[in-house]
Amino acid sequence: MMTCLRGLVCGLVAACWLSMASAADRPNVLFLMADDLNNRLGCYGDPQVQSPHIDKLAARGVRFDRAYCQFPLCGPSRNCLLTGLYPNSTGIITNATIFRQTIPEQHSLPQAFRIDGYFAGRIGKLYHYSVPNSVGTNGHDDPASWELELNPAGVDRLEEQPDKIFSLTPGQFGGTLSWYASPKGDRYHTDGLMADDAVWVLERCAKRTDRPFFLSVGFFRPHTPYVSPEAYFDLYDRAKMPVIQGVKEDQEDLPAAALGSYKKEQDKLTDDLRRECIQAYYASVTFMDAQVGRVLEALERLGLAENTIVMFTSDHGYHLGEHGLWQKMSIFEESARVPLIFAGPGVKQPGSVVQTPVGLIDVAPTLMELCSVPPTKGLQGQSLAPMLADPKTVGRGWALSQVNRGNGRNNPQFFGYSLRTPQWRYTEWDEGNKGRELYDHEADPRELTNLADKPEASAIIAKLQPILRDAVQKSFPASGKRPELSQGGLWNPLLVDP
């Protein structure tokens, strides 16, 4: 059966390539994405997490030290990344909506590449999926974005739940803290099968020179449930896993909305469970890194690396106990910040680091410029190509993130917006009516002291507030025609599967 399926896909790939041709010297794109990955990686200075393959990619590319998502939830963030539009312009603030429902005429990033002659393929999760339930399906995908979709499903989806996976809420896995050390090896797991598929597609790409490729590989790890082979768990001593201290003291100067992503189930966490959870998360990160390594090794082996732009990122960051929070949906640094690495054509100073703040909103215009693909309508980000050439380039100089609170019924919905500059994070909840936050990252990188109500901070806020509010205004469509924000299934921290 697998042989027949592979043969069918081979024919589809060949037909796609033969149907359209473009200049052979245009760069390819390998678009690598993790799920729920924070910046706990070796190349970002983490002393414990082992990520040798992503570190190696950073060493031959440009690493963005201050990169931020625009909405710390899978669906809104991924639609933002793949359209180059802010959530206020896509209309998407929930998981179960894709941009075809709100702005159906918009071309996505991979669709723009297809239209301009590229072969566009997807393996795994690029738009939103319910994890783990949608693994092995197209999820909330956009068919117009791709010519090839591959959806492998491994033992982490098919065999090893629900009876074997530990969960804080029994029987729930996607939106709750849950983990399992599997006795099965890498290539039995979904991310391992995805690496196999990516290598298989790259081998066929290497045989064609008449059409460049845009290949997207969206890994599922380290998203919950943190399931990976037990060998990766063995790399981390559970007793040495870091547990955040001083949470109550930290929370004293925070507005209630800042802690709105807290889940009641987390009351069950003991320090021992916290260490188990972090060990499992780290194991999943290192397992995912190993699969990235297999794909990058194939790129080198096949002679494709020199003419392929490799981009690696995540949809948003992830809390592991900071401020008493776990997972996502806050606009603190740990939830909003993402890894972002570019390597290959366009990089002039391998191993360099860009310090100016940037966003996932900037990925689409960057790749389009680097590949000479006509920009899609209304792009709201900046191109990072000048920073790849000279990492001291400042560009816009800030990044904007947002999140919603309230359920829209008895608890009216409102938004929090956060501006990140090189030194400051300034946040307003409901335009300040439900609280403000200000953090000095030079003195307080963990965002432990909220300066917003300090008299000495008034001059700083007076400078940052107009920038924030102007950025928010410009995050809506320039036409003034705003899409309806997706209301179906407003985010709820008690949902099983965000």
Instruction: Give the residue carrying structure tokens 């729920």.
Output: 36
268-277 per-residue burial string, b: 16 or more CB within 10 A, e: under 16: ebeeeebbbb
Query: Which pLDDT does position 196 carry in this prediction?
Result: 98
Q: Which amino acid is at 310?
A: V
Indicate if 389 and 449 belong to the same structural domain. Answer: no
Query: Which pLDDT does position 464 carry in this prediction?
Result: 98
Backbone angles phi, psi at 375, to 5 degrees: -65, 145
Indicate if 168 and 305 belong to the same structural domain. Answer: yes
Indicate if 388 and 404 belong to the same structural domain. Answer: no
Residue 481 lies in a domain: no
Task: Report the alpha-carbon distance of residue 274 to residue 241 in Å, rounded.
Answer: 8
Closest CA to 363 of 296, 313, 401: 313
Indicate if 252 and 123 belong to the same structural domain. Answer: yes
Final residue before a domain boundary, out of 397, 423, 449: 397
Number of domains in the chain: 2
Indicate if 81 and 116 belong to the same structural domain. Answer: yes
Query: Which pLDDT does position 492 carry in this prediction?
Result: 32
Indicate if 411 and 298 belong to the same structural domain. Answer: no
Containing 61, the helix (H) or strand (E) segment is strand 61-64
> How many Cα atoms are found within 13 Å in the side-chain-facing hemisphere of 420?
26
Residue 465 lies in a domain: yes
Query: Which pLDDT does position 160 carry in this prediction?
Result: 59
Backbone angles phi, psi at 166, to 5 degrees: -75, 135
Sheet with 337-338: strands ordered across: 337-338, 67-68, 358-359
Indicate if 374 and 413 belong to the same structural domain. Answer: no
Indicate if 370 and 433 belong to the same structural domain. Answer: no
Residue 210 lies in a domain: yes
- Cα–Cα distance list, 300 to 305, 306, 395 (Å): 5, 8, 32
Residue 485 lies in a domain: no
Mean pLDDT across the chain, nearest whole number?
91
Instruction: Give the residue carrying structure tokens 């069918």.
Output: 8
**Domain of residue 80, residue span:** 25-397
Residue 20 lies in a domain: no
Task: Report the alpha-carbon distance of residue 153 to residue 188 in Å, rounded.
Answer: 9
Indicate if 213 and 351 belong to the same structural domain. Answer: yes
Query: Which pLDDT does position 489 carry in this prediction?
Result: 39
CB proximity list for 330: less than 8 A, separation 6 or greater: 72, 258, 259, 260, 261, 319, 323, 336, 403
Query: Which pLDDT does position 162 carry in this prediction?
Result: 64
Q: Within the chain, which residues score under 70 in pLDDT?
A: 1-24, 160-162, 408, 480, 485-498
Angle at 38 between CA 258 and CA 387, to 5 degrees: 105
Closest CA to 258 of 447, 391, 458, 65: 447
Final residue before a domain boundary, out of 345, 362, 397: 397
Beta strands in 90-244 (DSSP E): 119-124, 148-150, 166-167, 178-182, 213-218, 226-229
Query: Which pLDDT does position 3 carry in this prediction?
Result: 43
Indicate if 420 and 275 belong to the same structural domain. Answer: no
Query: Which pLDDT does position 483 carry in this prediction?
Result: 81
Task: Report the alpha-carbon distance of residue 75 to residue 77 in Å, rounded.
Answer: 6
Whether 77 and 84 have beta carbons less than 8 Å apart is answered as no
Residue 1 lies in a domain: no
Indicate if 251 and 183 belong to the same structural domain. Answer: yes
Residue 230 lies in a domain: yes
Indicate if 339 and 430 belong to the same structural domain. Answer: no
* 314 conformational bin, left if phi > 0, alpha if psi -120 to 50, beta if neither: beta
pTM for this prediction = 0.92
Q: Is 159 helix (H, G, I), strand (E, B) or coil?
A: coil
Closest CA to 94 of 81, 80, 75: 75
Q: Which CATH number belongs to the domain containing residue 441 in this structure?
A: 3.30.1120
